Amino acid sequence: MTDRDDGSGVDSSRALETLETLEALEDEVATMKQVVREGDDPHRTRFEAVANRLQEVLAETNGGHGTIDTRSGERITPLDPDPKRIALTDVAHALSNLSRFTGQGKEFYSVARHAVHVSREVEARGGTREAQRWGLLHDASEAYFSDVPAPVKQSLPGYTRAEKRFQAAVREAFDLELTVEDERLVDAVDGDIARYELSIHFPANHESPGLECEHDDLESGGDEGLYLRRASELALR
């Protein structure tokens, strides 16, 4: 007869093997920690891949694949997104209510306005139509994940993996066909706009980079409307 634990239906020998595996994993993590600190990129990439998989297992078993409600009435699973359920109106609404810099700036400054600024700057630098569209949508995942500070995000490989997966769904939802050059330009502009914003909100600690499109060039008024008008200009719907 199979030896089972307290009526749970779990084979006790299997439970012991699982415990031993977890203990071995803890030892391996301790060893890998030093390797990763030493900056070995191949090892770091593999380590992050394992961490991502563990995060997926936890999400699958603790309800992390549940849905959230959105303004439009859609329900979406952030960790397993259906592109058909990603609505531009939901993105615009959420990002216009979401503050940059975790709300620590001198005044409220929305992710929606940041995204419009990125899109405008991409246009000013001669970026393609697709790059301008991606500039507007590059933070769309934050409409469903919120805006996590960079130092925290960098310590959460499971989060960054989920974010990338959602952004892939965003590209599919809006039929974006980006080149490597498009993505590089948007990344560069995003970084420059972020430094510009930091210089405005925290002038004692940051200097402003030169931009083609200054913040004052953007329309005033409600950020949700600003976002949707820019989307309309770019034929996003």
Could you report the per-residue pLDDT of 161-212, keeping only the tens digit for each? 889 999 999 999 999 999 999 999 999 999 999 999 999 889 888 888 889 8
**Which residues is 230 bridged to in the sheet?**
none
Q: Does 31 lie in the same domain as 47?
A: yes
Q: Is residue 6 part of a domain?
A: no
Is it the case that residue 62 has pLDDT exceeding 70? no
Same domain assignment for residues 49 and 114:
no
- Which pLDDT does position 50 carry in this prediction? 73
Residues 95 and 186 in one domain: yes
* pTM (predicted TM-score): 0.77
- Could you tell me the pLDDT band of residue 7, with boundaries at 50, 70 and 90? low
Q: Is 4 inside a domain boundary?
A: no
Q: Which domain holds residue 115?
A: 69-233
Q: Which residues fall within 8 angstroms of residue 120, CB to CB, at 6 or more apart? A: 135, 213, 217, 218, 230
**Same domain (yes/no): 109, 47:** no
Least confident of 94-103, 156-165, 169-178: 156-165
- What sign for the dihedral angle of Cα 122, 127, 131, 132? positive
**Reported confidence tier of residue 11, pLDDT bands at 50, 70, 90:** confident
**Max Cα–Cα distance, the chain, nearest Å:** 77
Q: Mark whether 173 and 125 lie in a shared domain.
A: yes
For residues 50 and 161, state if they share a domain.
Answer: no
Which pLDDT score is estimated for 203?
86
> 96 and 210 share a domain?
yes
Total of domains in the chain: 2
Question: Whole-number mean pLDDT of the chain?
Answer: 85
At 117 the pLDDT is 96
Residue ending a domain, among 40, 61, 82, is 61
19 and 120 together in one domain? no
Indicate if 57 and 76 belong to the same structural domain: no
Residue 40: its pLDDT value, please? 60
Would residue 156 count as lying in a domain? yes
